[in-house]
Amino acid sequence: MIITHRHIDEKFEYDGSQINPSWAFQEFGIYGSSVITWIGPVNIVPDNLKDFADVGLEIKSNYMVNFICEFFDQQPPNMRIAYLRQRLLVMIFREILTEYGVPSKREGDDIFVDGGKLSISIASISLSSAKIHFALNLEDKGTPDDVDTIGLYDIKIDGKQVFNEDNLLELINETVKRFIDELKTIENDISKTKVL
């Protein structure tokens, strides 16, 4: 499976509509499976909520790194595989945090650092594709009052800021690269394994 990654330099809001099928093609002319990343605020309007458990809740932040993944390799798309890939992306990011010396905790698809919620995520399917949205706070600003949150820029080790504008793009690209490589490795393993 070929997966295209494109980081968009333009800052724009994630409002939940980007989880719709073929968004990468409609907005950027990208065919096939893709991972689109960008930095911008998140403010999911009620009509675009996909998780029944989130109905009535505020999902917002002033400043986040957004990942939108879309896959066309399963026809019909499979919700279970979409969620397994979502968890894989989350765990790969946690692995990278560990390499930076940042301890974290995972609860389902949520990552916590120092008790603060760092990430949000959802997976779903359409008739033609599987979609994942994964986003990480950059700062603890503009998030819901009833949720303790933390941003990447808020994380410090021995008083020193771990992430900043100088290494953020490297963090994004490394996360996507490992995710795509892992999916390719799975495809390769499938192709060389003798069935029982």
Domain of residue 14, CATH code: 3.30.930.10
**Model confidence over 88-119: pLDDT tens digits?**
999 999 999 999 999 999 999 999 999 999 99
Number of domains in the chain: 1
pLDDT class of 189 with cuts at 50, 70, 90: very high
Give the Å distances, CA to CA, from 83 to 14, 130, 196: 20, 9, 26
Q: Burial letters for 30-69: b for 16+ Cβ neighbours within 10 Å, e otherwise?
A: beebbbbbbbbbbbbeeeebeeeeeeeeebbbbbbbbbbb
Q: How many C-beta neighbours within 10 Å does residue 96 have?
A: 14
Residue 70 covered by a domain: yes
Residue 114 covered by a domain: yes
pTM (two decimals):
0.92
Instruction: Return the pLDDT at 58.
Output: 66
Mean pLDDT estimate for the chain: 92
Residue 123 covered by a domain: yes
Q: 54 or 194, which is more confident?
A: 194
Instruction: Return the pLDDT at 146.
Output: 87
Residue 196 covered by a domain: no
Residue 49 covered by a domain: yes
Residue 66 covered by a domain: yes
44: domain range?
4-191
Residue 89 covered by a domain: yes
Residue 46 covered by a domain: yes
